[in-house]
Amino acid sequence: MAEEMPAPQQHITRPEILFTLAVWLKKIQREERVNGDKRIQTECFADFESLSKEVDDLCHELEEFMRAIRPIGSSSGLISTSRVIRSCMDDVLGEFGSNSAEIWRDFSLGVGSIELPHKLKVASNPEIQLPERMRVLSERLEAFLEGLCDIPEFSDERLKNALLEFREWLLYRAECIALHRDSKLVKQSTVQKYISQVMKEMENYVSSVKDALSKFVQT
């Protein structure tokens, strides 16, 4: 069973991030030795498929949201931001797909199939720029929330909180991944596994925003 990741905290310092990550990295490395490579390979792809579905569902809710607010006179900015969020979500998902493809190849080692599943072939990209893409998405979510708050009738605390929590999580995990990526002391396979765990965790935040947005459109 996967170890639980250190949760994002407000006002956390860089030394605190480094300490919590060091503890968690040791747990990842121990889990890899115990559970073997085939499980890591197959579970990573399953998690990617699961997140892909949640992202698709969120994009659908954004479409419904854009239809719902078009009658509002000042809706053009929100509609534009919604489209940008969809594009940013696809960018982040593509980076997770790239990482999942790397895991599929690197963790096969004769115990699993080395041939990439079709979805990973489509999503794969040799350069991983995940922290930067996550930061851009967090900025777009902030702009989206600001646009919502400009609507005089907007008072949906559930949607507001879901957006704020997702934004804060993106910034925290982007910092963690960047520290992993730039460290010369962390093995590439460990960084890949960490990113895979971040991908799995992100599904909860995407689902939360999706559900809150759906309720908002229905009211």
pLDDT at position 96 over 90: yes
195-214 pLDDT, tens digit per residue, is 999 999 999 999 999 999 99
Judged against a pLDDT cut of 90, whether residue 111 lies above it is answered with: no
Give yes or no for a contact between 177 and 133, defined as CB atoms under 8 angstroms apart: no
Q: Quick one: which of 67, 64, 62 has its CA closest to 82?
A: 62
81 or 127, greater pLDDT: 81
Q: What angle do CA 91, 96, 98 make, to 5 degrees?
A: 95
- Kindly give the residue spans of alpha helices, DSSP state H, lying in 153-187: 157-182
Q: How large a percentage of the chain has pLDDT more than 90? A: 44
- Find out whether 197 and 182 touch, Cβ atoms under 8 Å: no
Q: Which stretch of 24-28, 47-51, 160-164 has the lowest confidence by average pLDDT? A: 24-28
Q: How confident is the model at residue 23 (pLDDT cuts 50, 70, 90)?
A: low
Question: What is the pLDDT of the chain when averaged over all its residues?
Answer: 82
**pLDDT attached to residue 34:** 40
Radius of gyration, alpha carbons of the chain: 18
Predicted local distance difference test score (pLDDT) of residue 8: 60
Which tens digit of pLDDT belongs to each residue from 162-190?
Answer: 999 999 999 999 998 888 888 777 777 78
Among 111-115, 132-136, 156-160, the range scoring the smallest mean pLDDT is: 111-115
Q: Which residue has the tokens 């646009």?
A: 147
Residue pair 61/217 in contact (Cβ under 8 Å)? The answer is: yes
What is the band of 2 on the pLDDT scale with cuts at 50, 70, 90? very low
Residue 1 has pLDDT above 60, yes or no: no
Is 133's pLDDT higher than 80?
Answer: yes
List of residues 6+ apart from 184 with CB closer than 8 A: none
- pLDDT at res. 142: 96
Instruction: Tell which residue, 116, 101, 110, 100, has the closest CA to residue 36.
Output: 110
Maximum Cα–Cα distance across the chain: 60
Residue 189 in tokens: 């396979």
144 vs 64: CA distance, rounded Å: 15
